[in-house]
Structure formats: C-alpha cells, structure tokens
C-alpha cells in the first residue's frame, strides 16, 4: 500500500470510494468525499488558531463523528494527535495535557451529565500552552463559555485559511513524523506517552484489515473507544483504507447495539468478550449481516466462540494480541477452528517477529511498527526496547509449532478490566494518600462480566471499604477503582520486603 501518511489515506479514500458511506453517526451520513471536505475544513480551522506542524492537539470526546473529524483534521493540519481517555478524572486529564504540551483541546461540553472542561478548570491547574479549547455540545444545546469556542464557531474559522494552505500542510506531513501520542499506564504508577509515526499507524491498520479481509462492502460498528489504539487505528483507519463504513457508538448499550446491527446491516463488530456475552443474553432482531468478530483482552472460552458463530451468526471469529506500544502483534486468521481461536491469540502480523525470552518466558516483539519511544522518557524507552530492537512486553506466553501465541500470565501484575489495562501500582499509589492507610496491595480477581476487577488489600485504621472505594473514584478512572476491599493486619512479604501478590491472588480465587 503506497499511502504512508494519514492525510494521504484520507485523500486516497475520497478518490477511491467517492460518495459511498464513510461514516454514519445518528442522522449524519457522510460519504468519503464529504468526509474529506469536512476534514479539510477542520484542518483549516486549526491552522487559523495557530496550530503548526508538530503541535499537539488533544481530543476528549466519546465515539462520535466529532472525534473522527477533529482527529483527522488535526492530523491533516500536520499536528500530532493526543487522544484522552474519557474515563479519566480531571486530574488525570490535566496531567496528560501538561505533559503532552497540548496547544488545542477538543472536549465534550456535556457527556454522561458531566462538563469535562469545567472539571478541568476546577482543578485550578495552569495550562499556559493550551491556547484553544473547543467545547462540543453532545447532550444539551451549545452554551457559550468565555475563552472557548463552540464546535460550529470553530468550524467557521476555516474561512480564514485557504484550501491551498491546508493542502500544503497535508503535503508536508512525512511518513516518519509522529502521528499520535497514546498514553498508557505504566507499572511505576505514571502514564507513559507512546509515540507512533504515520507509517506505523497506517501499517498496523492495513495488517488488521488484511487479517479480517475487510472490504468496501463491510459496515463496522465501532464500540471500542476511539481514544484507544483499537478504536482509532483498527477502527477509523481501517475504514479509510478499505472503504468500509464506520458506525460509532458513544456508549455501549446492548439494546441499542442490536438495533444498530439490524438497521445499519453491520458486518464487523470487534469488542471484549463481555460485549458478545451481553449480545447473546439479549439476542433479538435480524443479525444475519454479521460476518466478522474480533475479540481478546481476556480469556475467551471456546464455547463462547462457538456460540458467537452459531447464535449470533458470525462467519469468522478471531482473537488477537496487542499493546499500545505495538498496537496489533498477533491475530488469528479466518478458517482457524474454535479451539485455536480460544486457546491462542493467533500468529504474528504487521511484519512483527514474536519470540519468547528467558524464564518464565516473556513475550518480546520486533518489527517496523514498534513504537518510536515514550514521550520525554528515554530511560523508560531503553528499558522497554533493547539494543536489538526487541520490545519487552511484560507479558508471559508460549508459542506453539505453528507460531500461535498463548498468553499465560503477566510479569508486572497488570490485569484487564472490561478491556482496559489496569496497573495495580497506579491504584496503590493513589491509596497511599488516603489518611489511615499504612500499607496496600491491589490485585486483579476474576469477574464474570468484566473479566477481572480490582481487589485492594488494606492495612490501616479508621477506614471502611466504602471510604476506600469512594476515595479511588475521586482520583481514578472507574475501571481502575477496586470493586472489593479486604482489611488485613499485615501483607505477606518475602525476605526482601516485596509483597507476595501471588498469595493474595490465590486467596482471592
């Protein structure tokens, strides 16, 4: 595939697929040609606000057409995209904005009853580099706020910049330029910003599309959040590369998803296993259009794979393995049997090499799509990517003779709650600030609906489980907040003083 920058991919899609539907969001239906025009307008508006090549533009929105247009417009203007997890608290968001030195922010004025921008302001944090804030009304009519722009006001600025200048910006973007900074929590308890280049974002999307045999006839329900590499790169970019229609869902609702599948004739639906369990429980309507499901991020029973095929009608069910630092590393292929799909995460894709190093067997990967590095953190980058170019994932696994990867554990205690990575160190760090806590350890425990949830073991006095949970909810995203709290007189430790989390996990099983 010749196009190696995202602006080039947007242009190419308009040329190839024309008026075919590119994006359907409620009553809005955009062809690929319409999408290009709107992306160009957003790029001109960013340019009018002084966004230059390489500047960072943050987006804090759920899955709507605004996210797609703002993201692609920023990239078209030569900016670097900084997606913000909509589940982050205001404090977490401010940290991300400050460290990325974001020059512009596109934020939901109202989402799930919360004014995200007002919450950021309430922290009292100073963000002198943030010169433009665009508030997008999602649930209520636009309400002007001093020092900010409404979505339509922002778009109107495009008249100040010529189309020729916008195209020159897009032409100036190079394949090795940084396309995005995706923040992922680290085991040290502080989020790391993963830097990726345009050629890498395009490359992994093309590989995912190839594995799934995605075509212009497909219609893709994107439940995975756009702020995540899956929703953005294996979602939006896959649609642009293949001509598939993207249908975003802002908040997953089983009934609404079933209605969308029937009404929009959805053929592609990736998601965590919990999504498919929910669809099976409430199954109704005409689901005959469903063709491809891609899942992972948790244990996938072979029985679930079979039911997805027989009861939901998926012709193909695939599992995959990836991480923000490499996006998609392995993937099953159409034709793999249910046991292989359930037992493994498939074989290497996107030109990756996959190997197992040492004991207990860390998964390491190497290839052109390994991240460029962590934002402003050369030490962490050097720890993650060795001198031979191998990215050390921190996951433990095995390769079978066919090259299929099975994930057997995690080196660093990470667990996955509802498809989101949770690093206990971050939760523990937050809880050490709660008065009365003397010692704390957090582990993941099985949960039927979410795969895993957090359990906090707390040593302290004058505390209740409700108080511990409430404290976390104020400071951490919901998926990071422990669901269970157990008080102990002391935590089990080894001779060097390290908490024996394995014992805590076994006791909680």
Cα–Cα distance, 348 to 37 (Å, whole number): 37
Q: What is the DSSP string of 115-150?
A: -HHHHHHHTT---TT--EEEEE-SSS-----TT-EE
State the Cα–Cα distance between residues 288 and 310, nearest whole angstrom.
Answer: 11
The DSSP symbol for 157 reads: G
Q: What does 402-413 look like in DSSP terms, one character per residue?
A: T--EEEEEETT-
pTM for the whole thing?
A: 0.85
Is the peptide bond prior to 360 cis by the omega test (within 30 degrees of 0)? yes
Q: Report the alpha-carbon distance of residue 41 to residue 166 in Å, rounded.
A: 9
Burial of 15 per CB tally in 10 Å (0-12, 13-18, 19+)? exposed
Q: Which residue positions in the chain have pLDDT lower than 50?
A: 1, 186-188, 495-496
Q: What is the pLDDT of residue 40?
A: 98
How many whole angstroms separate alpha carbon 255 and alpha carbon 259? 6
Nearest-angstrom CA–CA distance, 188 and 192: 10
Element (DSSP H or E) covering residue 69: helix 65-76
Position 60 scores a pLDDT of 97
Neighbours of 120 (CB within 10 A): 22
- Residue written as token pair 């040329």: 15
Task: Report the distance separating Cα 397 and Cα 382, nearest Å.
Answer: 22
Q: Where do we find the tokens 């920058």? A: 5
What is the pLDDT, as a whole number, of residue 298?
53
Q: Is 446 exposed, middle or buried (0-12, 13-18, 19+ CB in 10 A)?
A: middle
Sheet architecture: strand order including 353-357? 353-357, 362-366, 391-399, 405-410
Q: How far apart are CA 396 and CA 364, in angstroms?
A: 9
Handedness of CA 356, 357, 360, 365 (dihedral sign): negative
Query: What kind and span of H or E run contains 180?
Result: strand 178-184
pLDDT, tens only, 259-276: 999 999 999 999 988 789
CA separation for the pair 30, 36 (Å, rounded): 9
Q: Are 248 and 63 in contact (CB under 8 A)?
A: yes
Domains of the chain: 6-17+28-83+104-174 (3.40.50.980), 252-410 (3.40.50.12780), 415-508 (3.30.300.30)
The 10s digit of each residue's pLDDT in 426-463 is 888 788 789 888 888 999 999 989 999 999 999 989 99
Ordered DSSP codes for 434-498:
STTEEEEEEEEEEETTTEEEEEEEEEESS--HHHHHHHHHHHS-GGGS-SEEEE-SS--B-TTS-
Q: Are 53 and 144 in contact (CB under 8 A)?
A: no
Give the DSSP H or E segment for 306: helix 302-310
Q: What is the DSSP letter of 335?
A: T
Locate 315 and state its tokens: 């012709």
Nearest residue to 87 via CA among 67, 116, 65: 116
Question: Are the CB atoms for 290 and 267 separated by under 8 Å?
Answer: yes
- Helix (H/G/I), strand (E/B), else coil: 86: coil
pLDDT at 188: 45
Record the tokens describing residue 389, joined without a space. Answer: 């170019």
């Amino acid at each position: 595939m010749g196009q190696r920058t995202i602006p080039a991919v947007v242009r190419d899609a308009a040329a190839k697929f024309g008026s075919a539907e590119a994006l359907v969001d409620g009553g809005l239906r955009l062809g690929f040609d319409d999408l290009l025009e709107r992306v160009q307008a957003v790029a001109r508006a960013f340019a009018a606000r002084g966004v230059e090549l390489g500047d960072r533009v943050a987006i804090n929105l759920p899955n709507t057409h605004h996210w797609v247009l703002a993201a692609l417009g920023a990239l078209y203007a030569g900016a670097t995209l900084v997606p913000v997890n909509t589940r982050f608290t205001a404090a977490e968001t401010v940290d991300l904005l400050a460290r990325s030195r974001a020059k512009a922010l596109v934020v939901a004025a109202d989402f799930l009853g919360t004014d995200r921008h007002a919450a950021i302001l309430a922290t009292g944090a100073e963000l002198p580099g943030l010169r433009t804030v665009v508030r997008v009304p999602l649930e209520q009519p636009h309400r002007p706020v001093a020092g900010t722009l409404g979505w339509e006001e922002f778009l109107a600025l495009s008249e100040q910049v010529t189309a020729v200048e916008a195209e020159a910006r897009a032409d100036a973007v190079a394949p090795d330029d940084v396309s995005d900074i995706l923040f992922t929590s680290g085991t040290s308890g502080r989020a790391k910003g993963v830097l990726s280049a345009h050629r890498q974002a395009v490359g992994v999307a093309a590989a995912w599309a190839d594995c799934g045999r995605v075509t212009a006839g497909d219609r893709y329900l994107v439940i995975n959040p756009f702020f995540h590499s899956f929703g953005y790169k294996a979602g939006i970019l896959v649609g642009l590369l293949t001509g598939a229609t993207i249908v975003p869902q802002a908040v997953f609702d089983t009934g609404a998803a079933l209605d969308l599948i029937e009404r929009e004739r959805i053929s592609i639906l990736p998601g965590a296993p919990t999504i498919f369990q929910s669809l099976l429980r409430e199954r109704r309507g005409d689901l005959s259009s469903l063709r491809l499901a891609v899942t992972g991020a948790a244990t996938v029973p072979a029985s679930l794979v079979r039911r997805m095929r027989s009861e939901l009608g998926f012709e193909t069910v695939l599992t995959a393995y990836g991480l923000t630092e490499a996006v998609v590393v392995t993937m099953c292929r159409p034709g793999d049997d249910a046991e292989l799909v359930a037992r493994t995460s498939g074989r290497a894709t996107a030109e990756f090499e996959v190997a197992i190093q040492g004991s207990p067997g860390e998964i390491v990967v190497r290839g052109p799509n390994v991240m460029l590095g962590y934002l402003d953190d050369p030490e962490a980058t050097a720890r993650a990517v060795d001198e031979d170019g191998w990215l050390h994932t921190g996951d433990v696994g095995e390769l079978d003779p066919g090259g299929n990867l099975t994930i057997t554990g995690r080196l660093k205690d990470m667990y996955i709650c509802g498809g989101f990575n949770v690093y206990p160190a971050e939760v523990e760090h937050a809880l050490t600030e709660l008065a009365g806590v003397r010692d704390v350890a957090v582990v993941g425990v099985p949960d039927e609906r979410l795969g895993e949830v957090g359990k906090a073991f707390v040593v302290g006095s004058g505390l209740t489980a409700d108080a511990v949970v409430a404290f976390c909810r104020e400071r951490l995203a919901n998926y990071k907040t422990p669901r269970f709290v157990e008080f102990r007189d002391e935590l089990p430790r080894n001779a060097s003083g390290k908490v024996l989390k394995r014992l805590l996990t076994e006791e909680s099983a």
